[in-house]
Amino acid sequence: MIQIIFAIRSLFISSMLLGMIIVTSMNMQKVTATTNTHTMNVIGAPNQSAAAGNNIEMTYSTLAKKLNVITSVSPITNIVKNVGGEKIELSGLVPEGVNSHTFELVPSDVVKVNDADLVIIDGLGLETNVEDVVDEAHNTKPNLQILKLGDNTITPDQYIYDFSFPKETGDPNPHLWLNVAYAMKFANLTRDKLMDIDPANADYYGENTDRYITKLNDLDQGIMHAVQSVPEQNRKLLTYHDSWAYFAPRYGMVVIGAVQPSDFGQPTPREVAKLIDQIKAENVPAIFGSEVFPTEVVDQIAKEANVKIVSTLSDDDLPGDAGEPQNSYVGMMLENMKNMLVPLGGNVSALSNVSPEDTYSSN
Ligand SMILES: [Zn+2]
């Protein structure tokens, strides 16, 4: 009987669609959608005489319904976009320029999560509010899937706890994606999940990912070489926001400190004084702020320690406007390297052949 059903599926796709419309409009039969198998069961469709009384499976693509995917921060949204391409409906929950560590969901976000087939987040405690909404949604929608990229990329022994993410507060530093090798893992995990729940488009996801990984590999190697152009004694990062913990060890840099306390408030005058002493002792030429966090305190530190301040490093805010090539993960990393390595005395010529042009931008 299974073979008969599959034969019917391939022969009567359009008539099945028609059958569904009839079923729905006449309200005679039961139509159920399940998200874990991503198939739609049409029970006893009236024009399927050979299969009457049996379940007929149809994939999402057969129904021309795209997989509905919700993500959190912009770089992750863009990585997912580069895997899912045109075959998924994608929406990110954290608006550009909003602090991803303290963002709050609005009611329309809850609706989005409830309508989703798959929610993809960083995890590692970054988006606990999204996890709460998914938990709630599971009451009525048990098949809603959640993929925590970070949790599946590193193991607890690889977690980094540091200045703004001390072990005693519980969650490790979540900024995995600034290490391009981890971004590649994010892309592969996304590909595997999309292939799993939407097998009809598996080839498409696979090809997109292969192309994207090639690009990320060029980016990764380019950053490795570009960092080498920075004098060794300057390969130190002191940032306002503590987001370079996984970047630094991969590319031969050292995070010497972060200004932002673990509660994301303002540092105390005592902490500021300590940082100024440290910058003087380490003799770094520049320290770094961030677009989404206040810079007054960084300005003060830079002035008193007599170092340059660069205020444009970004961990979750994509440069450029929606639709522009640089409004992408690759674009963000290239912009970051320019803003980080040049003030430290290096250059980015090793990255001159890496372009975000042939990747998907955010929109
Ligand atoms: Zn961050």
Distance 182 CA to ligand 1 centre (A): 16
Question: For 284-301, what is each residue's pLDDT tens digit?
Answer: 889 998 766 666 788 888
Contact 133, 109 (CB under 8 A): yes
Whether the CA torsion 356, 146, 71, 200 is positive or negative: it is positive
Residue type, 234: N
Distance 308 CA to ligand 1 centre (A): 22
Same fold, 67-160+172-216 and 226-351: yes
Distance 327 CA to ligand 1 centre (A): 18
Which pLDDT belongs to residue 29? 35
Distance 155 CA to ligand 1 centre (A): 20
Distance 126 CA to ligand 1 centre (A): 9
Contact 128, 153 (CB under 8 A): no
* CA 337 – CA 279 distance, rounded (Å): 21
Distance 316 CA to ligand 1 centre (A): 6
Query: Between β-strands 55-59 and 39-43, what pairing exists: parallel, antiparallel or unpaired?
Result: antiparallel
Residue type, 47: N
Domain locations along the chain: 2-59, 67-160+172-216, 226-351
Distance 238 CA to ligand 1 centre (A): 14
Sheet holding 39-43, edge to edge: 31-34, 39-43, 55-59
Which pLDDT belongs to residue 298? 84
Distance 307 CA to ligand 1 centre (A): 23
Distance 100 CA to ligand 1 centre (A): 6
Non-local CB neighbours of 105 within 8 Å, separated by 6+ positions:
93, 129, 130, 133
The domain defined by 226-351 folds into Rossmann fold (3.40.50)
Which pLDDT belongs to residue 240? 87
Q: Is 57 helix (H, G, I), strand (E, B) or coil?
A: strand
Distance 213 CA to ligand 1 centre (A): 24
Which pLDDT belongs to residue 241? 87
Query: Between β-strands 145-148 and 88-92, what pairing exists: parallel, antiparallel or unpaired?
Result: unpaired
**Residue indicated by tokens 């949790």:** 151
Distance 241 CA to ligand 1 centre (A): 7
Pick the CATH number of 67-160+172-216 from 3.40.50.1820, 3.30.450.40, 3.40.50.1980, 1.10.8.100: 3.40.50.1980
* CA 349 – CA 363 distance, rounded (Å): 28
Which pLDDT belongs to residue 97? 77
Distance 300 CA to ligand 1 centre (A): 22
Distance 267 CA to ligand 1 centre (A): 17
pTM for this model (two decimals): 0.81
Whether the CA torsion 175, 323, 83, 227 is positive or negative: it is negative
Q: Which residue ranges in the chain fall short of pLDDT 50? A: 1-62
